[in-house]
Amino acid sequence: MLLLRGAGRAADDDAPVGLADLVADVLRSGLSWTVDPPAGAGATRERWESLAALHRLAGDLARDQPEAGLRELVAELEERASAQHAPAVEGVTLASLHAAKGLEWDAVFLVGLADGTLPLALADSPAEIEEERRLLYVGVTRARSRLFLSWALARSPGGRGSRRPSRFLDGLHAVARPAPPPGRGGGAGRRDRAGTPACRVCRAPLTAAVDRKLGRCGHCPADRDEALFEALRSWRSERAKALSQPAFCVFTDATLTAIAEQRPGTAAALVAIPGIGQAKLDRFGDEVLALVGSSDPT
């Protein structure tokens, strides 16, 4: 934010420059950003994607408000950060799986889930296949309430129906089966026989994305450690400021609530919370586990 404000004052004396171009110049000079993505995955790729999302946002803002400048862009970023998620609007957001990281919507439609598209036909090594699988996980966990997965037999209407559903969907078939009534076959385990996560309070199957993240039904009593939750919020604010990212790009409020309720004591327990993947575990796991360990549950 401070970088953009400073750059805005320096650019006032120059010839008119498009907002997206101005932001690109700032990112290049201040953060060594490039238009072309880096090779591979990991923290470097995630950092590039975050900066690329900022560049795209500047372009979208300039297209919708041709007179917008850095002041308006900063205001838009602050509004999104305070909301902790993408602003709710009456419309449809089209996004790639990479661009959807850190965001959530009430309903998510993932289309084109066919072999050759996901995973890509060019992905043939085990590492590349796992990266494609991770992207599907990102997409699936963007939904708060409703998730729709689809694929087509043919690439175009009237085409040869020879396409097959993505091999990654095999692991989701069990989740889609009707779950048995609470108390029947589920026992006291965290998942029922169909593979659906169960509420840790009443053992009912969890179908909503936010309920699965919290590990309990929305109507079941919450047991959030308020002191830990506030400590996590303060930590998140500091990390987001240091990374020059909105707070929700670190963790959403729902994820912090899940941590404060479940109090994971190990890396395995932390990564079991939906929305915390290996990348965030590597990046923030030690700090979060230290906060959980130092918090007094009483």
Q: Of 151, 176, 201, which closes a domain? A: 176
Are 114 and 76 in contact by the 8 Å Cβ rule? The answer is no
Say if residue 74 is in the same domain as residue 126: no
**Residue 28 in domain:** yes
Range of the domain at 266: 226-294
**Residue 182 in domain:** no
Amino acid at 277: G
Backbone angles phi, psi at 235, to 5 degrees: -60, -45
Q: Of 116, 144, 176, which closes a domain? A: 176
Say if residue 9 is in the same domain as residue 56: yes
Positive or negative torsion for Cα 228, 206, 81, 32: positive
Q: What is the dihedral of CA 274, 278, 280, 283, to 10 degrees?
A: 160
Say if residue 56 is in the same domain as residue 120: no
Are 168 and 151 in contact by the 8 Å Cβ rule? The answer is no
**C-alpha span between 190 and 167 (Å, rounded):** 26
Question: Which pLDDT score is estimated for 35?
Answer: 84
Cα distances from 231 to residues 238, 256, 262, 292, in angstroms, run: 11, 10, 15, 9
**Residue 284 in domain:** yes
Question: Which pLDDT score is estimated for 286?
Answer: 92
Say if residue 73 is in the same domain as residue 111: no
Are 110 and 148 in contact by the 8 Å Cβ rule? The answer is yes
Q: Of 83, 114, 139, which closes a domain? A: 83
**Residue 130 in domain:** yes
Say if residue 79 is in the same domain as residue 6: yes
**Residue 290 in domain:** yes
Question: Which pLDDT score is estimated for 117?
Answer: 82
**Residue 258 in domain:** yes
116: domain CATH number is: 3.30.160.800
Digitized pLDDT (tens) for each residue of the chain, 298 residues in all: 334 443 443 334 443 458 888 888 888 888 888 888 887 767 788 888 888 888 888 888 888 888 888 888 888 877 766 655 444 456 678 888 888 877 888 889 998 888 888 887 777 788 888 888 888 888 888 888 888 988 888 777 777 767 788 888 876 654 444 444 444 333 333 444 345 677 767 777 776 766 776 777 777 777 778 888 899 999 999 998 898 888 888 888 888 888 888 888 898 888 888 778 788 888 898 999 999 988 766 5
Say if residue 239 is in the same domain as residue 170: no
**C-alpha span between 283 and 281 (Å, rounded):** 5
Question: Which pLDDT score is estimated for 194?
Answer: 42
Residues 6+ apart with CB under 8 A from 41: 131, 279
**Residue 213 in domain:** no
264: domain CATH number is: 1.10.150.80
Are 217 and 211 in contact by the 8 Å Cβ rule? The answer is yes
Say if residue 78 is in the same domain as residue 134: no
DSSP for 52-74, written as a single string: HHHHHHHHHHHHH-TT--HHHHH
Q: Which regions of 44-156 does DSSP assign to beta strands (E)?
A: 105-110, 143-149
Question: Which pLDDT score is estimated for 229?
Answer: 87
**Residue 215 in domain:** no
Say if residue 68 is in the same domain as residue 7: yes
Say if residue 166 is in the same domain as residue 236: no
Q: Tell me the CA end-to-end span of the chain in Å, nearest whole number.
A: 38
**C-alpha span between 101 and 117 (Å, rounded):** 19
Question: What's the domain count of the chain?
Answer: 3
Say if residue 129 is in the same domain as residue 161: yes
pTM over 0.85, yes/no: no
Rounded to 5, what percent of the chain is helix, strand, coil? 50, 5, 45
